[in-house]
């Protein structure tokens, strides 16, 4: 399954809402879709799994939605620490990752 | 504290071999599936290989199938990746990554800091 993330780069200001898209080339089994945040020089951090379940310690401004082939990560109000690269990941059929979306400060 | 510490990376010529290791602590290693995920400089993440909790089931991406072998030693809490016939496009930071469950079809919840592999003549 190929995952395509859009946009490649999102330029926003702190306090704004961020909407990131992840589209799969075929249906993702049982909603096995996760989102990760990665900051420069750091390993990825799990944010969301099972389409919409927040991982431990993840603030509720992060939310995941979608089904089938179209998924969305929403950050309701961007905090300064949220500017990073976000990766989607499907783990239902031969694991794959999307190409990433960079959220940068406008 | 959960820790995954990778080692074994370095500079290697095309066609060469390397063996990566990942020593884990802070959780019961034998209960969880594990993976190797790589990231080429400035690029996205690419899943490489996964192994079930017992080691009885292994999976690999097409790009490394037949060249890379994942294995584990549950008695020592160590994950391995044997990499043969290395190519320039295998150059990447290799992450050791723990799954939430005993099977590979589960989210990755913990990542190591990675070990860099550079394939160049």
DSSP codes joined into one string, B13-44: -TT--EEEEEEEESS-GGGS-EEEEEE-TTS-
Residue reference for tokens 């990554």: B97
Could you give the CA distance from residue A6 to residue A21 in angstroms, rounded to a whole number? Answer: 5
A71 contacts A33 by C-beta, under 8 angstroms: yes
Find chain A residues with C-beta within 8 A of B32's C-beta.
none
Return the pLDDT at A30: 77
Sheet of B68-73: strands edge to edge?
B3-7, B18-25, B78-83, B68-73
Q: Which of these, A89, A97, A85, lies nearest to A8 by C-alpha position? A: A85
| Touching B: A residues 30-89, CB under 8 Å | 32, 34, 36, 43-46, 49-50, 55, 87, 89
Instruction: Give the minimum alpha-carbon distance from A80 to chain B in angstroms, rounded to a whole number.
Output: 22
Torsions phi, psi for B90 (to 5 deg): -85, -5
Return the pLDDT at A74: 98
What is the count of residue pairs from A and B with beta carbons less than 8 Å apart?
56
- Mean of pLDDT values over B23-43: 97
- Mean of pLDDT values over A66-77: 95
Chain-chain contact of A43 with B111 (C-beta, under 8 angstroms): yes
Q: Which of these, A17, A19, A53, A56, lies nearest to A34 by C-alpha position? A: A53
- Mean of pLDDT values over A24-45: 94
Closest residue of chain A to B96, computed from CA coordinates: A43
Instruction: Give the minimum alpha-carbon distance from A76 to chain B in angstroms, rounded to a whole number.
Output: 23
Which is higher by pLDDT, A29 or B60? B60
CA dihedral B104, B109, B114, B120 (to 10 degrees): 40
Residue reference for tokens 């909790």: B53
B9 touches chain A (CB under 8 A): no
Residue B28 CB-density burial (10 A; 0-12 exposed, 13-18 middle, 19+ buried) = exposed
Q: How would residue B48 be classed by pLDDT, with cut points 50, 70 and 90?
A: very high
DSSP state of B121: -
Closest residue of chain A to B58, computed from CA coordinates: A94
Residue reference for tokens 């994942």: B70
Helix (H) / strand (E) element for B4: namely strand B3-7
């Amino acid at each position: 399954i190929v995952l395509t993330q859009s946009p490649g780069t999102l330029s926003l200001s702190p306090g704004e809402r961020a909407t990131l898209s992840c589209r799969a080339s075929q249906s993702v089994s049982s909603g096995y879709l996760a989102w990760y945040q990665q900051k420069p020089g750091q390993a990825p951090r799990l944010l969301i799994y099972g389409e919409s379940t927040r991982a431990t310690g993840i603030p509720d401004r992060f939310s995941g939605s979608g089904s089938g082939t179209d998924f969305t990560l929403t950050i309701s109000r961007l905090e300064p620490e949220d500017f990073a690269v976000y990766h989607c990941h499907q783990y239902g059929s031969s694991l794959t990752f999307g190409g990433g979306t960079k959220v940068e400060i406008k | 504290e959960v820790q995954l510490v990778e080692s074994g990376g370095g500079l290697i010529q095309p066609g060469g071999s390397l063996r990566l290791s990942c020593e884990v602590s802070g959780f019961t290693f034998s209960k969880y599936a594990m993976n190797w995920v790589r990231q080429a400089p400035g690029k996205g993440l690419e899943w490489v290989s996964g192994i079930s909790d017992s080691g009885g089931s292994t999976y690999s991406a097409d790009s490394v199938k037949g060249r890379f072998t994942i294995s584990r030693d549950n008695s020592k809490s160590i994950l391995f990746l044997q990499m043969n016939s290395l190519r320039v496009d295998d150059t990447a930071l290799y992450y050791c990554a723990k799954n939430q469950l005993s099977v590979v079809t589960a989210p990755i919840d913990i990542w190591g800091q990675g070990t860099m592999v550079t394939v160049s003549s």
